[in-house]
Each structure stands twice: as structure tokens, then as C-alpha cells.
Amino acid sequence: MIYKAQSGHPGGALSVADFTAACYFHEMKLDPKNPQWPLRDRFVLSKGHACPAQYAALAMKGFFDLSHLDTLRKEGSILQGHPDMKKCPGIDISTGSLGQGFACGVGMALAAKMDALDYRVYVALGDGECQEGEIWEAAQTANKYKLDNLVVFVDNNNLQIDGTCDEVMPNIDLGKKFAAFGFDCYEIDGNDMAQVVAALELAKVVKNGRPKCLFANTVKGKGVSYMENQCGWHGTAPNEEEYKQAIAELESQYIVED
């Protein structure tokens, strides 16, 4: 997708890919034939630039034809550079400006509580994104309204555009901050599918009025050796040679079903 577009954000898309896949293929109640099904679970990619991972999941889930994946970032595409709920089936809220998606997820979880419905809301935040103040405004609202139907992933890859988070703006005790804001916080390896699935299960069964934070330690660029832990691969597309190497490496690590 990103190679064909020659534009996009491979690093973050790869770090969120595992827990995004866990949500779409293991966890969430969805109806790809009826993307607006009112009782569906919601997924908010607050770090909207990682959307290639979400687009791939939506396409494989059947929300739209796989052929759309080749149109990422092209004129007229349903797959905008950042997710557009009006263009792309299965996107629950448009995102792209960091810090804002979380509050929207809180609104969705609140609506479920107000209507006494049991759909759940999953939000993916970047660790760098947590430098935005609105994140903490949203977190305190989730606590106040006891949104135990809300699960927040923190994609803790410790990289942002200008360097490591520790260099740019240290996220002091990020997991503890969520705990201090009233979340049940579970630290996991966000690129270990078994851990992600187990944590999602736990988050679902613990109905104690507390929102859940899955603090996911991840590797930016996961699965592609030359991209891993390199902030330079935040918003850069691979060339042909790099693309071929990336695909070969990924296919050697993952079972690809026909």
C-alpha cells in the first residue's frame, strides 16, 4: 500500500498491526455488510497516520474489496491519507490530528452507557500522542463516567518524528498515569498476539466500572529489519528494493493464508 502510494507511515502502521488485527479478527462484533450497524463495536485509530494497518484489516474483513488497498492516498480513493469516515466503510470516526480521537471514543462509550447497549469501544493511542493535553481530558471523563466498555491501547514504541519520546518529551510513567486517571492498566508485549488476545479477554470480563488501558510495548517498524526502531521510517515510503525485502521478511515471519 505505502510502496504503491510512495507516501505514508510504515513505522507506526507496523507497530499497531498486531493489536489492530486482534481487535478486528478476534475481538470485535462487526457486520462488514452493514458498516453502520448500531450495535457494532467501535475502533478509533486516534493515531490516524497508522491507518494502513486498519485499512488492511477492514479489507480482509470484507468491508470493501482488497483492490482498494492499491489506491491509498490516490485521488478519489476511499483510503485517504488519514481515515475518513465519510469515504471509507468501517471507519467509525475520522482522525488524523493527534490527541483528538480518544475523546471521540469516550463519546461513543458514553452513548453506549446512556442507551444501555453493550457495544464496546477500542481506541489506539500513540505514546507520542499522549503528549497532547486533550488525551488527559478524555481520560478523566472516562473515569468520571465509569466507562468499563472502553479499552485504550497505548502503542508504546518510544519513537516520534523528531527522535525518541525520551528525547523529544519524556512520557514519565505513562502506564502509571493511566492508572492514576482511574484506568485498570495492563502492560503487555503489543507485538505478541497471545498476550494481546489474553489482555483483551481480561479487559472484557472485568466489569468494575473502570476503563481499561492495554499498555502495549511495541516496536516501530515491527517485522521489517531495517525499519525496526528507526524514527526515520515514521513517514517514509520504501523504494522497490526496500519493498521487496520488507515483503520477503514479513512473509517469512507470518503465515499467509490464501
Partner 1 sequence: MSNTKKISTRDGFGKAIVELGQQDSNIVVVDIDIGKSCKTVDFRKTLPEQYINVGIAEQNGAGVAAGLATCGKIPFVVTYAAFGSMRICEMIRQQICYPKLNVKIACSHGGLTPANDGASHQCIEDMGILRTLPNMTVIMPADYSSAMALVKAAAAYKGPVYLRFTRDAVPVVYDEAEEFEIGRAKLLREGKDVAIIANGDTVCLAVEAAKHLSELGISARVLDMHTIKPLDVQAVNDCIKDTGRIITVEDHNILNGLGSAVADIVAESGKAVLRRIGVQDQFGQSAPYERLLEMNGITVENIVAQAQQLLNK
Q: Based on the shown chain and the rule CB under 8 A, indicate whether residue 105 belongs to the binding site for partner 1.
A: yes
For partner 1, the closer of residues 36 and 252 by Cβ is: 36
CB 36 within 8 A of CB 104: no
Please give the Cα distance from 33 to 24 (Å, whole number): 15
> Given the DSSP bridges, would you call strands 150-156 and 159-160 parallel, antiparallel or unpaired?
unpaired
User: What angle separates helix 51-61 from helix 10-22, to the nearest 10 degrees?
Assistant: 40
For partner 1, the closer of residues 44 and 224 by Cβ is: 44
Please give the Cα distance from 217 to 101 (Å, whole number): 20
**By CB under 8 A, what part of segment 117-176 binds partner 1?**
133-134, 137-138, 140-141, 144-145
Residue 34: CB minimum distance to partner 1, A? 15
**By CB under 8 A, what part of segment 197-236 binds partner 1?**
none
Please give the Cα distance from 79 to 103 (Å, whole number): 23
x/- contact string, 9-48, with partner 1 (CB under 8 A)? -----------------------------x---x-x----
Task: Find, among 161, 158, 150, 166, the residue nearest to 214 by Cα.
Answer: 150
Please give the Cα distance from 141 to 79 (Å, whole number): 31
Provide the 3-class DSSP secondary structure of residue 56. Answer: helix
The owner of cell 483528538 is 100
For partner 1, the closer of residues 18 and 41 by Cβ is: 41
For partner 1, the closer of residues 114 and 256 by Cβ is: 114
Residue 77: CB minimum distance to partner 1, A? 16
For partner 1, the closer of residues 115 and 118 by Cβ is: 115
Contacts of 126 (CB under 8 A, 6+ apart): 12, 46, 47, 50, 98, 154, 155, 157, 160
Residue 227: CB minimum distance to partner 1, A? 28
Residue 250: CB minimum distance to partner 1, A? 32
Region from 101-109, 176-184, 190-198, 204-212 binding partner 1, contact rule CB under 8 A? 101-109
Among 20, 77, 94, 160, binds partner 1 (CB under 8 A): 94
Residue 54: CB minimum distance to partner 1, A? 16
Please give the Cα distance from 31 to 146 (Å, whole number): 27
> Given the DSSP bridges, would you call strands 150-156 and 121-126 parallel, antiparallel or unpaired?
parallel
**By CB under 8 A, what part of segment 174-193 binds partner 1?**
none
Q: Using CB under 8 A, list all residues that contact partner 1.
A: 38, 42, 44, 84-86, 92-97, 99-112, 114-115, 133-134, 137-138, 140-141, 144-145
